[in-house]
Structure 1
Amino acid sequence: MQVQRFLIAFAWAAAAVLAVSAQAIASTGQPSSWQLGLQAAATPVMENIAWFHNLLLYIITAISLFVLLLLVIVMVRFNARSNPTPSKTTHNTLLEVAWTVIPVLVLVTIAVPSFRLLFFQQAIPQADVTVKATGKQWFWSYSYPDHGKFEFDSLMLQDKDRKPNQPRLLAVDNDLVVPVNKVVRVQVIGADVIHAFAVPAFGIKIDAVPGRLNETWFKAEREGVYYGQCSELCGKDHAFMPIAVRVVSDREFAAWIEETKKKYATGARDPLTVAAREVRTEH
């Protein structure tokens, strides 16, 4: 009994430490050093993903400790010294029903929220803003079909170009800008090979396939800059293809749209962006 109580107490303590540490260490919008948990959720989808992740963690921990407890009991009570005359029991109806029904209940407990989360992710609500992200080797191009015919490229900043508060390998020259508390539909396609558009804090990850338009959505509930990366191996510079999403107020978004229309409406690219793209391609 003392061993059993110790294991149960240890399990609860370990679960509490992991939960608190994960919440404390996970940062908003980008990874942090020694991070244990998921990035802090910035959308309803990610909040549901984090909740489901924690549910699975508790279930897996309970099952693992239960199996460990059984192993300890067997080793202590049924070794040759403690139990020189082993039982010859061939079956136990109650036990067999239990080890069939309990796993079924556990799987149902996992399946119900799993399907609810899947449908929540896949059912795209009425969008307030539509963004098209085109994956290219090795940068992203963004356009806003509902806000005019303009498109711009987004390339990773080199170390010499970064500001002190911009994260290395994640900061870009042109952010994807969206309004806060608005449903954003993201249309994703690849221009050359398969890429993947992924932003952990939003709980989105979808392949960018040439010739196929995939869709996902998010609704950012807090302003700020949220980083992601291409998550599909796409060539030698796959690791240098970040995503930066800047969430702003409605007024700031409207002003940014007007400014960006004037800058990119003719389809011309910033000479520095073109030069950077050419250098990246040559390498």
Structure 2
Amino acid sequence: MALWGQIKFQDASSPLMEQLILFHDHAMFVLVMITALVGYISYTLITNKTNSRMILEGQKVETIWTIVPAIILIFLALPSLRLLYLLDEVNDPLLSIKVVGHQWYWSYEYSDFLNLEFDSYMIPTNELQDGTYRLLEVDNRLIVPMKTNVRALVSSADVLHAWTIPSMGIKLDAVPGRLNQVSFLSQRPGVFYGQCSEICGANHSFMPIAMESVNIPSFLLWLSKNI
């Protein structure tokens, strides 16, 4: 869960989000080093009253500052491409869930079980209980088993939406007439919140996502009560 004034990522709840955070830290380290080097060179050029002929014109210097950035881009591109393919991979899911975006709520359908589907609406502020989050809590949470490969099939019934859970590393467009899929695995129990990340209309900010990760016995108990 995000905290007030937080400027970093939420704690990772899936292996893919861990990899996203590691890549972010790697890219920021490279960016800070480049910024520091360029800032130091600019400072020395401004404060140095005598111009250096080696800096103003020199084949060796021009060769270096052309090749070195290309090498740095390779060190950024390779892990980025690896992560891109990992995010797009679906590894033998044990559970498939259909997610449909509406104006302005989400509906979920457990395709592996008969007659198990429900809508998920945001709880109004005047109906919130103590300890729940305003604009994030819903009446029916999405329940998934932890340490299980889950596939979400995402679509929309009306306009563009985006099914997003930051701590899980999930952000997938819900497009009318198109079925997109994403695979995720929850490493720990808890409730993970998200919101629609596509401007879908007047109540865009009032269709949150709440996913609860539970152990397998608790998941089976929940299924038995709802099927």
**Same fold by TM (over 0.5)?**
yes
- Within 2, Cα distance between the matches of 1:215 and 1:105? 34
- Counterpart in the other structure of 1:76: 47
- 1:116-166 Cα offsets, whole Å, 9 max, x none, are 000000011000111111000000000100122321000001122222121
Cα 1:87–1:170 change in 2 (3 A) is closer
2:6 to 32, 35, 39: 35
Give secondary structure in 2 for the equivalent of 1:114. helix
2:151 is the alignment partner of 1:180: no
2:125 is the alignment partner of 1:150: no
- Within 1, Cα distance between the matches of 2:52 and 2:59? 16
2:100 to 125, 134, 138: 134
The structure that is helix-richer by fraction is 1
- Counterpart in the other structure of 2:176: 210
Query: Offset of 1:101 from its aligned partner?
Result: 1.2
1:114 to 65, 69, 80: 80
- Counterpart in the other structure of 1:46: 17
2:25 is the alignment partner of 1:57: no
- Within 2, Cα distance between the matches of 1:160 and 1:59? 47
Alignment of 1:76-95 (within 5 A): 76-77=47-48, 79=49, 83=50, 86-87=51-52, 91-95=57-61
Query: Offset of 1:61 from its aligned partner?
Result: 0.9
Identity %: 38
- Counterpart in the other structure of 1:266: none
- Within 2, Cα distance between the matches of 1:98 and 1:148? 64
In structure 1, stretches of 5+ residues that fail to align are 1-29, 262-283
Cα 1:164–1:93 change in 2 (3 A) is same
Cα 1:87–1:109 change in 2 (3 A) is closer
Tell me the TM-score normalized by structure 2.
0.96
AA aligned to 1:31 is: A
AA aligned to 1:168 is: R
Q: CA RMSD in A?
A: 1.2
Query: Offset of 1:75 from its aligned partner?
Result: 1.5
2:187 is the alignment partner of 1:221: yes
- Within 2, Cα distance between the matches of 1:144 and 1:35? 34
In structure 2, stretches of 5+ residues that fail to align are none
- Within 2, Cα distance between the matches of 1:150 and 1:180? 19
AA aligned to 1:172 is: V
